[in-house]
Amino acid sequence: MIDGKKVLFSGMQATGNLTLGNYLGALKNWVTLCDEYECFYSVVDLHSITIRQEPAELRKRARALLTLYIAAGLDPEKNCLYYQSHVSGHCELSWILNCFTYMGELNRMTQFKDKAAKHADNINAGLFTYPVLMAADILLYQADVVPVGKDQLQHLEITRDIAQRFNAIYGDVFAIPEPYVGKTGASIKSLQAPEKKMSKSDENPNASIYLMDDPDTIMRKFRRAVTDSEAQVRYNPEQAGIYNLINIYSACTGKMPEEIEKEFDGKGYGDFKTAVGESVVSVLRPLQERYTDLSKNKDYIDSVIKNNAEKADYYAMKTLRKVQKKVGFPERVR
């Protein structure tokens, strides 16, 4: 708890370009949480280097992501927006937690198996211990709640296991985080393979809408979106492509699926795709304009980076010093 508020932690990797799925499924909803929670939103650049990155590009993407946080409506005066790599406590706590995590637990992580299969030439220790760093991210701020998708639930479970194990030995040190169960974001799927989620790393350029795509690109991608031969706009999961487009249109317009079915009753898929594309262009336009303005204001973004890193470090060090004392490290002479 900070000032009577529960603490919420989340973050995104500084790799690839954010998609419409990232925005509608997470970022858009983060904006509404600062009144209820003390929110820490990290640009998790430490996690990014389990896969080789071009240094200048990683720095560029990290800054772009933090700027997009603000452009999407996250007020840096009300939310702590910071680079993970600027708070050394993440790495320091991660090492300590490694010593309270069992190899068998890490061996069961499905995401490690998936990533190891994709990057067989670079199966490094960081990829294996990735869940421990994620646990440190969460526990460092005594987070009460963590918004997670289904693919991250396993990581939250191991975080809880590590925290409970540590607490059983040393007393009430860590808050035990719960999954965030508030308003959930839309589940946005690939435009070319609607059985899969929309991904930053999809090799097919037509599969994902990126937040900085221009209107013509957005409309072209929707025109090429996979549908079916039913020729009916119905909110039916078996019509995966149309089902996904309805979810996108609903998230952008606020209309319920049954309203959308009535709106496009008797109309073709071409009309529907055009309407979905136009709704996305309308939603992304103010974000893109705000991002462009913010990108020109180097001094402001630099001040956000500095001030928010100091805030994050303050709360991180409170937890880290307590943990260091519990495990028996010598106190620092000041």
Q: Is 318 a catalytic residue?
A: no
Tokens of 37: 């929670």
Which is nearest to 70 in space by CA: 35, 38, 37, 43?
A: 43
Per DSSP, 38 falls in state E
3-state class (DSSP) for residue 83: strand
Question: In the annotation, is 200 catalytic?
Answer: yes
Contact call for residues 196 and 189 (beta carbons, < 8 A): yes
Confirm if 90 and 84 have CB atoms less than 8 A apart: yes
- Given the residues 200, 255, 311, 326, select the one marked as catalytic: 200
Angle, to 10 degrees, between the axis of helix 153-170 and the axis of helix 110-118? 130
Other beta carbons within 10 angstroms of residue 204's beta carbon come to 11
Cross-strand partners of 210: 19
E strands in the chain: 6-12, 37-43, 79-83, 145-146, 178-179
Q: How far is CA 6 from CA 9, 20, 60, 89, 181, in A?
A: 10, 28, 32, 21, 14
Beta-carbon contacts of 77 under 8 Å, excluding residues fewer than 6 positions away, are none
Choice among 28, 115, 221, 273 that is catalytic: 115
Q: How far is CA 138 from CA 85, 291, 319, in A?
A: 15, 28, 11
- Judged on CB neighbours under 10 Å (0-12, 13-18, 19+), 127 is middle
Instruction: Report how far residue 206's alpha carbon sits from residue 204's, in angstroms, rounded to the nearest whole number.
Output: 5
- What is the per-residue burial (b if ≥16 Cβ within 10 Å, else e) of 282-316? ebbeebbebbeebeeeeeebeebbeebbebbbebb
Out of 28, 189, 197, 273, pick the active-site residue: 197
Catalytic residue status for 325: no
Residues identified as active-site? 115, 197, 200
